[in-house]
Amino acid sequence: MSTNTTAKKVKVRFAPSPTGDLHVGNIRTALFDWAYARHTGGTFLFRIEDTDTTRVTDEYIQAAIDTLKWLGLNWDEGPEVGGENGPYLQSQRLDIYAHWAQKFLDQKDAYHCYCSPDELEAVREAQRAANVAPGYNGHCRELTADQIAAYKAQGREAVVRMRMPDGSTTFTDEIRGDVTFDHKFVPDFVLVRADGSPLYTLAVAVDDVLMKVTHVLRGEDLLSSTPRQIRVYQAMGVAIEDYPVFAHLPFVMGQDNAKLSKRNGEVSIAWYREQGYLPEAICNYLALLGWSPGDDRENVTMAELCELFTIDKVHSSPARFDMKKLEAINGDKIRALTLDEFLKWSLPFLNKANVITGSDSEIALVKQALPLIQERIVKLDEVPAMLRFLFVKDFKVEEASLSKVTDSASKDVLKRSLAELTPLTTWNHESIEAALRTSLIEEMGLKPRIAFGAVRIATTGSTISPPLFESMELLGKDASLARISAAIAL
């Protein structure tokens, strides 16, 4: 089977079934769909597959919507946007699926199956014992009226199954080339459960046709479902040239070469957001998992991704998730922020950590301090720890650093520092540095790490802080001298 959609405007869809937070694989798929739509001037459709009412909740649906917004993956059709092919929640399209299921029954493309779960399991066990590929054996394909009546008299409820013809299905995958499935490995499959609810294979195929989707970019775990979807297209009467083009994306693997999961890496995008990864950094890194712009660059903007993304540059081999590379990219993105952008992204983390209350004076001080740490952090959740010393009311040296300001050598450094800093009439980082370098380095002959280490801990409470002299300038003379005095008294 071949397809030809070259004359059509591209339309792709992202159709998650949100049974929890969207994960790395979901978002990589959404990103590729979005980038391809933007690259081709096509349409990006967002659809929610929520027919599994036992697992999909309104909270998860809203979280999926919010996550795409946060990442900047704006959609042209879908929830909150609308469009001519709605509704975009499958739970609101049940009458559509019921119509097509009945049509398939009327056409004899589908049939009612009354086999019980126990009977189906017994068949599978026998097939395994005979070393035969497990699958439905077609027991109910040609039931007589009397057999159907007998099953109904027993109170059995029927599912609707699609008939798979003999032969095979071949289609061209844009990433993997021609793919063939022998139908002996694709048995008759269920379209509708006994309670009348549609299964994925029915709903996804019907929606892709009715919503005029031209390209289906999705994970390779769904590759084996493709012949079933093509069978639904056939039963719907869709011409071959109007089938969507398929492109199955490679798996994302953990460092242990197993498929990425909570066991070998964090998969939830919500976790990365809470940790302080920028959305553009996440998109930049995920774009490189299975796709390449054609050179060795690792820093790709969203605009460049839209300009460069094509399916032929997507690899078929699995991609390996590397947290250190993501952190490096995130650090690069943080350093590229303007001061106002850095402030906007940092304030929620400072508020959440109760470092600031949000007053104008606090925000002004934060804005002064941020340039001191922009080169030093790789995640936004590091900002509170770096700046807390400026705002804490009950200042204390952290427990792990106490020993470094209470020994006799450190006491000498702190006493000398206090004596040199107290007379200063101009309090800025230049004057502070000049005073301490003259007294501690030149006169006392100390190495900088030893000379300034105790002062850093005394004034900021930690061995890790923004540049010392600039920190003391922002902290102010009174607070700086008071903290040094308190450390001497420890």
Q: Which residues contribute to the annotated binding site for Zn(2+)?
A: 113, 115, 140, 142
Strands (E), 250-362: 252-253, 319-320
Q: Cite the annotated binding site by residue number.
A: 113, 115, 140, 142, 262
- The catalytically annotated residue of 69, 262, 344, 415 is 262
Task: Give yes or no: 262 in active site.
Answer: yes
Q: Which residues lie below 8 Å from residue 191, measured CB to CB, with a gap of 6+?
A: 101, 104, 110, 159, 160, 161, 162, 198, 199, 201, 202, 232
Q: Which pair of tokens denotes residue 279?
A: 């959305």
| DSSP 8-state code for residue 198 | B
Tally of CB atoms within 10 A around 384: 19
DSSP string of 27-76? HHHHHHHHHHHHHHT-EEEE-B----TTT--HHHHHHHHHHHHHHT---S
Whether the CB-CB separation of 202 and 232 falls below 8 Å is answered with yes
Cα–Cα distance, 353 to 383 (Å, whole number): 10
Beta-bridge partner residues of 43: 11
Specify burial of residue 294 (Cβ count, 10 A radius: 0-12, 13-18, 19+): exposed
Tally of CB atoms within 10 A around 464: 14
| DSSP 8-state code for residue 182 | E
Q: Which residues lie below 8 Å from residue 390, measured CB to CB, with a gap of 6+?
A: 365, 369, 471, 474, 475
The total number of residues written for the chain in this structure: 490
Q: Cite the annotated binding site for ATP by residue number.
A: 262
Cα–Cα distance, 100 to 426 (Å, whole number): 81
Phi-psi region of 313 (alpha: psi -120 to 50; beta: other; left: phi over 0): alpha
Which residues does the annotation mark as catalytic? Answer: 262
